[in-house]
Structure 1
């Protein structure tokens, strides 16, 4: 999207440029716990419903039950942990408001509890966040029992639990005031939903895959038939999520950053730069999975268990997935440090050099205006991201089919030649 420049009228007085602190580590840790539990809950259920479950069902009821039980138990734990995590975040905010910015905030759980459904829009959203994630955990809880895990109720319980968790996650970014501009607010909220839900399905699914790979719930005889299609199904979902995160991230970048220089000159930009580096590393690992690991797994399935690469892949796959899951957790840890906007931080730093106004009274830039050029750039970016994702998925599938065909010929060095 176009990155407009701004000219600012300087104030006649002078002062030092304000520094923008990262904020207390405690605040970030509390926020991180909330994000990890909510997004993990959504992602693990999505993995069970969309990727692991359908493949396990084709193998047999025992495999379906084992996979569903393991993922459902993890989802229930995450959902139950999300409730105190959200309440702790609300308690910390309530105590901070009472103590002021300079005091020791602590935690006011009584105020947090009373704020739920207190009649305000913020209270309703907080109440829905706590209630819906708890309802989602209760809905998924029966699937933690093997007798229910392979029953016809399985997809219904997972779907309802996923819906409850997705709405609970969405309440964190729903507007708590009547917007002045419904069109812009609706679009911004939609972008945040793409960002959060895409990240939840992608990163939470990675955590679920790491759990399944490390616990080895699938018996050795069925692992070839299980992992290859699961990886391909999750890969398709993950690539869609990456596209959603990338597109929404481009919009948020356009909204809060006025150019690449602000990635170095402002605290918001530097934190965003770290986030982009972690995201880029995750993408590189995804490329490795998509163009090397996934096709090799497909080839192994065709070649049989005697292939020498089998041991390598069995060791390497859990390692790569676990590394991706840990990087995803690091990405969520960095996100809460993003305070304000790089645009305003740069503008206020410039204004403070010519003014003695207190830091809290410095002027702020208005929101960027959406123009025809904005929509043109946004449309071009959307088409480019979709084309890259579809092209990558098609090429990786082509590689997988070629390696499978070579492996099926029975040549000892078939996989290396492919």
Structure 2
């Protein structure tokens, strides 16, 4: 409460709401398609082949709907920026698509590839196609289109002076966005599959055990990407922990970090407690009420994770500028004898990457990778120990 006043306002609420809609649709389409391609689809094919068409069709329908909804969301954002009266000029927004500028090309690609991603996965809504050999090719092509559409939001709109730094910054943002899309969109997809009709009751338990285990791999890879890219973005935009409370950027980032921490805690509950128990009960062939209770509790935990993830995406658009610049501009304003217009406030240059930056970054990368791989192995061992500890001698021998 005693911290200095924020140096910049949060910005209009409606702008963040429009940006939130864009992120939810674009990232959701990526996550749902990835789940169908890498986790739920293969799990259904291995444990409950009859459920593969229904699982693929449900996830593909949701991905296609989100990809289509991304188009009006993107156009609304462009219309707000193109309006001269702070309203929404959709005609001007439409004219900016492929208008010859780099920004226009990227906006045009964002809209075009979103529609292409929807068109590619839409045929999989037909269960006969979802069960055929075209399933993997259509999902792969749809995922590629949706991923590039998401990436265009962070591709540079001007020819960079330093191609190396700009390319690295773009790669970091791609890791951040794709990681968030695969993780949060995948959680939403699991919640969709928990509703009746996707998986027959007879194959529900083996399907969920395999699907959760496969999703854990992609989720952990996504969390690793988010963590590493987040550490780099923190280094680039924040000069020390004190700026997390003395600048508006830092305060918003602090809220985002707290929500991300809550998501990680729920993920740990799933990974080290709920998933191993479901695995153990599935291996035992247990049909008692505890097995049903666990399978009912899992969607509830996932629903909370999805809500936290959507809250995280709502907070993110409030991040404007950087904590470094806000703190620097606040000091400059205090030292100036006359008020400085907001557009003329000085800005700090981007941080220079040194040898120590690469050393620390490499060490952080290795630590995060080792931690994620170790966590996945530990959770698998917990499942096997629970299975061995509760199985009969005959099943244990088998």
Partner of 2:111: 130
1:116–1:126 CA contact under 8 A, matched in 2: yes
1:279 counterpart (256, 260, 266): 260
Superposed CA offset, 1:10-50 (max 9, x none): xxxxxx97731101110000000000000000000000000
RMSD: 1.5
Q: Could you tell me which of 127, 135, 155 is aligned with 1:146?
A: 127
Are residue 168 (structure 1) and residue 156 (structure 2) matched? no
Query: Does residue 378 of structure 2 align to residue 378 of structure 1?
Result: no
1:168-317 alignment, distance < 5 Å: 168-317=149-298
Give yes or no for the alignment of 1:37 onto 2:25.
yes
For residues 193 and 331 of structure 1, the distance between their equivalents in structure 2, rounded to whole angstroms, comes to 17
Q: How many residues align?
A: 390
CA-to-partner distance for each residue in 1:127-165, whole Å, 9 max, x for gaps?
Answer: 000000101100111100111110111000000000000
Tell me the distance in 2 between the aligned counterparts of 1:27 and 1:248.
25
Contact 2:27 2:150 in 1 (8 A): yes
Give yes or no for the alignment of 1:85 onto 2:73: yes
Q: Which whole-Å deviations, capped at 9, do the CAs of 1:196-255 have from their partners, x for residues lacking one?
A: 001100000000001101345111110111000110100011000000000000000000
More moved, 294-303 vs 37-46: 294-303
How big is the shift at 1:51? 0.3
For normalisation by structure 2, the TM-score amounts to: 0.95
Matches within 5 A, 1:49-64: 49-64=37-52
- Contact 1:18–1:352 under 8 Å retained in 2: no
Answer yes or no: is 1:394 the counterpart of 2:382. no
- CA–CA separation in structure 1 for the residues paired with 2:181 and 2:280: 30
The DSSP-based 3-state class of the residue aligned with 1:20 is coil
1:339 correspondence with 2:320: yes
Indicate whether 1:67 and 2:48 are aligned: no
Instruction: Report Cα offsets for 1:250-280 as digits up to 9, x if no partner.
Output: 0000000000000000000000000000000
Gaps of 5+ in 1: 1-15, 100-104
Question: Is the Cα contact below 8 Å between 1:275 and 1:331 reproduced in 2?
Answer: yes
Distance 2:163 2:233 in 1: 18
**Could you say what secondary structure the match of 2:9 adopts?**
coil
User: C-alpha distance in 2, partners of 1:29/1:17?
Assistant: 25
State the alpha-carbon separation in 1 of the partners of residues 281 and 80 from structure 2: 52
Q: Indicate the SS of the match to 2:195.
A: helix
Change (3 A) 1:302 1:257: same
The alignment status of 1:159 with 2:147, answered yes or no, reads no
**2:244·2:251 contact (CA, 8 Å) conserved in 1?**
yes
Relative contact order, CA 8 A, sep 6+: which one is greater? 1
Q: How far apart, in 2, do the equivalents of 1:237 and 1:112 lie?
A: 36
Detail structure 1 runs of 4+ shifted over 4 Å in the superposition.
none
- Contact persistence 2:113–2:146 (CA under 8 A): yes
